[in-house]
Amino acid sequence: MTPDANPFLSPSPLPYLLPPFQEIEEEHYAPAFEQGMAEHLAEIEEITGNPEPPTFENTIEALERSGDLLDRVSTVFFNQVSSDATPGVQEIQKDVTPRLAAHADAVHLDAKLFARIQAVEAADDEQRWLLDRYLTDFTRAGAVLGQEDQQRLKRINERLSTLATTFQQNLLADTNARAVIVDDVSELDGLSADAVQGLRETAKERGLDGRYLVTLVLPTSQPSLTELTDRALRQRIHEASTGRGAANAELITEIAALRQERATLLGYRNHAEYVLADQTAKTAQAVTDMLDRLVPPAVSNARKEQSDLEEIAGHAVQPWDWQFYAEKVRKARYDIDSARMRPYFELNTVLEKGVFHAATRLYGITFTERTDLHGYHPDVRVFEVFNEDGTPLGLFLGDFHSRASKRGGAWMNSLVKQSSLLGTGPVVVNNLNIVKGEPTLMTFDEVNTMFHEFGHALHALFSDVRFPRFSGTAVPRDFVEYPSQVNEMWATDPEILANYAKHYETGEPMPQELVDRMLEAQKFNQGFATVEYLAATLLDWAWHTDYADGDAERFEAEALKRAGVDLAAVPPRYRSTYFAHIWASGYSAGYYSYIWSEVLDADTVEWFKENGGLRRENGDTFRRELLSKGGSVDALTAFRNFRGRDPEITPLLTRRGLL
């Protein structure tokens, strides 16, 4: 392969530097990584070898401009790892992740580079903030450690990168392998006809023609348990879900131990304290205090809900029963049927008449599908986004369907970051895992997830910063979920809901009485929802504050019991062995971020209500004061500038019924 044949080795010729996915082959990744790392180190050497005194321009700005090739190939590659992980890509991942960890250490532990950064003087607030972030990044990466400790740190980081890759690949394989095969269609009683057909088509795609395949989503709770009447099948599905990741049990104990050792090397008591020092929460005690305040009322609510369910069921409610009987209570109490709502949530209509329409009403932006541009998979749709005055803003890619090569869950990636320094505009992608059908009908939870992930996309699309280090969602982990959770409010806004909740066959709007009951039911089952989330959060917290050594399953059980959330009928949203957020993503000691961000979110929803809701003026304010800032200012300062005060927790407690 000649160098010219590798599309990574030069900037993309496509609009907004959209990666030329049609030209990219797996064989391009390894040489592009190789050259990218070499070029980046050469750029670092040029900075450290500069005979001129260190300045912001020749050191910090030079760092911001460095690593372009490595960034191009990394962004595309790790997007594919998550979205379309072929065996070839997985082999490359095993090889490259420890090498990338070593490369990052080579940069952060370069004594000459750190000395130059320390010698730089900033000229204004933005420069001072960026300089502070670089000093913090390098210090937290071990730049001030002695040589022996740095060598140990390098070995820890390489091993952790390998373990995270293995965890991720084990989980994907096990999630696919544990999909539940159903031979007798009568076992699927309770599911709608289109849902049954979707299971049949999924089975056919995987070589099981004539059968039905219930694939697993990433959380413990599986959507089909709400409707399936066959209790034995519900149990099979639940046990398939909670049994995932057995091969990861030893991996996670090693990861936890290595993270503890690294934190100690860097001067912290544990990994949680290391993580929290650079988050808006600042201290582990602040998170502990919040969790202590939330757990007792949430558990009390869940116990009451369980009692109500058992009265209807006539027997003890098991985890595979909860959703089924909760749906019965929901129907009885609110006269609402989840299956009846699905025909009003057709995917394309929800996207264009719901998610996009809300963004147009609130921010004035518009969307044009670009069928001349292509994503990394045939399922991906590409849209160009424009400001109200017609000026181009960026590209949005939507990849909404599940497949065997895609990891579970939902997420947003930036393929190109906005930066005025580099002259680049945003290219962002949303991934969901919705089973494809003809038509593709969604649950309301999936609708809500689509709005949520688009909130992340807006955070990146509206980025208006100079330096790529601050672009879009480059904010503290316990702040990043805040804008996305705010965007969920528009899923149930009366004007927006009326625009997209239309029957896929007749075009008739969802009957108002059904809308009213759906909205009334929003607070239903909040005890369960809060406890399953808090249980996962407390597992994350225990692994990164209390773990010493020992068996993973026993440690999990003891941690939940100690925290007071060991309700057998309410399993954690993620058990430890398939908790990808904390072992293979960026949420270690950070899963609390969702509820921490929800404090800001609930307070912001109150602000929108106080100021008239879906108004362009409100959108302009939220965009200007918060979404556009990325990480260019302190996160809570941005919140205060927007809200006019510090956040208050009361709106969250009210929303979750925890007062």
Catalytic residues: 453
Residue 382 phi, psi dihedral angles, 5° rounding:
-120, 130
CA distances from 27 to 99, 103, 501, 652 (A): 18, 21, 45, 49
Dmax (CA) for the chain in angstroms is 81
Rounded to the nearest angstrom, the gap between the alpha carbon of residue 388 and the centroid of all alpha carbons in its chain is 29
DSSP assignment letter at 224? G
Task: Say if residues 373 and 367 touch (Cβ distance below 8 Å).
Answer: no
Say if CB 601 and CB 485 are below 8 A apart.
yes
Cβ atoms within 10 Å of 593's Cβ, excluding its own: 25
List Cβ neighbours of 337 (8 Å cut-off, separation of 6 or more). 331
Q: Where are the alpha helices (DSSP H) in 49-143?
A: 62-65, 68-83, 87-108, 111-119, 125-140
Q: Encoding tokens for residue 410? A: 């939902």
Does residue 98 have a cis bond before it (omega within 30 degrees)?
A: no
Q: How many CB atoms lie within 10 A of CB 214?
A: 25
Judging by beta carbons within 10 Å of its beta carbon (0-12, 13-18, 19+), is residue 586 exposed, middle or buried? exposed
Sheet holding 392-401, edge to edge: 366-369, 381-386, 392-401, 427-434, 411-416
